[in-house]
Structure 1
Amino acid sequence: QSAGQMLEAAVAASREASVFIATAAVADWRPATPNAQKIKKDGSGLPPVLHFVENTDILLTLAQGERARSRKLYCVGFAAESENLLAHARAKRERKGIPLLVGNIGPLTFGQDDNSLLLVDAQGERELPQAPKLALARALVEEIATRLPAWSNA
């Protein structure tokens, strides 16, 4: 499936949703000219030249949409960073215009059973300490459920 198809599916699903949680992004770039077949060697010894175009940012699209602007769709983004988590998370939340950004230091936790999360919103940040990922997922859902009424009525 393509990033364009994922965007269409997300937009369609968001029409009835109260919360959109963007746990991962599609690729930032796609080939400008997709090729259905393998790109074969041409005998020159030179690699093929590939040109790329930027994929649409699904989270940004939904966060800037009418449902999010009218507070009918609560958008949550994620940021897996390798350094400067708080600074990157704050910047990403502002750039996307979302009420909540969930950050973690990605390389340290990929493939691990435990993680810790940093929740960043307009009031500041709060850490969910290291715990099994399932427990963190449940805690995050509780956080969103707690925040949603005040955000929707603001």
Structure 2
Amino acid sequence: MGPTPYQYLPLWAKIAIERLDRDAEMRSESMLDEVLDSYAMTYGEAVDAQTRDSARHICRRRFIGSYTEPPRPEPVPPGTLRLVRLSREGALCPGDLVATQRLGECEVTRIHSPHSIEVRDPSTGRHYLISGVDFGPDARVTETAVPPRAA
């Protein structure tokens, strides 16, 4: 069953969504849950899973770019590179976060070519060169020497 349309939500759920609409600084999934619980309690009701999911769905669509959700860990299939966080939309650049099955989340430190990037594992500080055509199943991961720091 899909999300309940806004017009069919209980009044207290509509008020919770409108509250987030009024105050952009409050727009987060945790704040929505808190407001839903509070308003439902005021009306002597409990928030059911369908109403909560529907309100979240509406907020994701209504507040594009300003509604934050907690990150959901996703498995990374072997031989693929998953983008975790981009500084600039549509372009991979140093400082972005990527994930691989073998290394986990890493920070991009240098882009050598369209088929080769250097990443740093934040837990160990080691640098790795990830290369291969389209980063597919034939991608190679090799440890590299840490580049010298500029004085």
Q: What TM-score, normalized by structure 1, do the two folds share?
A: 0.27
Judging by fraction of residues, say which structure has more strand: 1
Tell which has more relative contact order, 1 or 2 (C-alpha 8 A, sep 6+): 1
